[in-house]
Structure 1
Amino acid sequence: MPLPSHAFDAVSWHNRKADKYGRVEFGSNHYQAGGRWQRRSVLVAARWDRVTLHDPDDDTVIAVHPRAYGRAESVRDPALVVHQLAAKPRAWGESEIRADFPDIVRRWFDERDPDDLAASLKAVSAACRDCSFDAVAKAAAALIETRKPERLHAHQLTPHARRLDQGQDTHYAHEPDLSVYDRFLDDHE
């Protein structure tokens, strides 16, 4: 007999309720669903290599995590946590993703006043909607190192992080030379 035309998807489905941190327990491990899912029901699709969390109402994917086979592991995506952190920036000092940022970004966040910290975390959160957390963290480090801004902005982070996600080597070391435009304007006045 011929093989089936579609691969068999070996998956088991489970309903779970997220805890107050937006984590879903499956097996003996916790998987991060995000702050929006605190104390809400989540549909868990468990495969041999990954655990996918779904919205039970419309089956949209909330998060995809590698499956953990150890005991009492917490599997999280920093991008999901940064969204929570942007809503509660005073939790920065005790955040579970604080260590996921490069040293320069961590120190820079520590030195910000509450308003600049809140705005910068929101910018990181917005950039994480379009790019990977690692790329956004690297883009933030590059911005801080070269431009020393008072606060981060998503319109600066996102394009740089996108280029990093695409494998392009980008840096902010050289600002564009705009002096040619100054000379042009001087000649035409």
Structure 2
Amino acid sequence: MLVVVALLAGAFAVTPAYADDPGLNCALTATATVSVSPSPVVFGQNAQVQWSADGVNCFSEDALQISGPGFDPATEIFPVGGGSRAVFVGFTGTATWDVTVVDLSSDTGFSRHLASVTTSVSQVTTVPDLTGDTLAQARQALTNEGYVLGSVGSVVDCENVQRVSSQSPSAGTPLVRGSSVSIDIGRRPAPPRQCN
């Protein structure tokens, strides 16, 4: 009797756990495209990510995951079909968007990567180095790069009296045009202390 039970258990074990999942057909047959415009994307502007996917026997348990800047595949899913989203380009380097179809009803979490697009980021602007500039020079340097002067503080700095002692964000930081940059102007210490 024990031998028969062991044989039956072995026979059932070869059946895939997802064989009865109706959404698997869609996941296996789905195709997709994804594009981004403009390409390359422009730093500090919106890019449009568009996708389109189709498959045989797709149902509500089939979904698309879009990964890449502006998307959270852990919390967002999209129906099989088409869509688009505007994404703000506040990052540098390159960006990749991927489309994956997932079968939400599958015991195994079946998924299949369908398409991807990669583009570089152009026209990246960085904060200029303002250290040692007068207030007027710092304001002009920021204006020239498309930034605005933010808060102006003061710190004791005998080497940069009446000049920029520090800035935030620091020089070389990628920053979207129109953003503000704060500075601290150096000043002498209050008496009786003195600069050497």
Instruction: Determine which structure has the larger helix proportion and give its number.
Output: 1
TM-score (norm 1): 0.25
Instruction: Determine which structure has the larger strand proportion and give its number.
Output: 2
Q: Considering only CA atoms, is the larger Rg found in Structure 1 or Structure 2?
A: 2
TM-score (norm 2): 0.24
Structure scoring higher RCO (CA < 8 A, sep ≥ 6) equals 2
